Amino acid sequence: MWPMLSHGTQILRKLKIMKKYARNLLYDKLHKSAVLVCIGLTLYGTVILGDHAYKYFKYVKPRIAASKAAAEQELLSEGAADKILLKD
């Protein structure tokens, strides 16, 4: 591989290359772990968001619609013609 170098120098160069390779493997594993953590957090957030949306449309929105309808019915009953005629 390196013909003019001594055997010890060749071994040192091979060790440096192996260390660099091992470092790159470590960086790759760290990067893969970080990506998997991000994917996991995204999936968890999606589940939580879906749960909140389900609860909103199942419980909160009908309650809001019912209170609006009750308020509108109350306003209509206050201005009803029969109540106006009975007051006179």
Domain assignment of residue 34, yes or no: yes
Domain assignment of residue 2, yes or no: no
Domain count, the chain: 1
Q: CA-based diameter of the chain, in Å?
A: 120
Q: Which helix (H) or strand (E) holds 81?
A: helix 81-87
pLDDT values of the chain reduced to their tens digit, one per residue, 88 residues = 445 667 777 777 777 777 888 888 889 999 999 999 999 999 999 999 999 999 999 999 999 999 999 999 988 887 766 665 565 4
Domain assignment of residue 1, yes or no: no
SS (H, E, C) 16-78: HHHHHHHHHHHHHHHHHHHHHHHHHHHHHHHHHHHHHHHHHHHHHHHHHHHHHHHHHHHHHHH
Domain region containing 60: 7-87
Q: Please give the Cα distance from 41 to 55 (Å, whole number).
A: 21
Domain assignment of residue 56, yes or no: yes
Q: Please give the Cα distance from 8 to 18 (Å, whole number).
A: 15
Model pLDDT, residue 46: 98
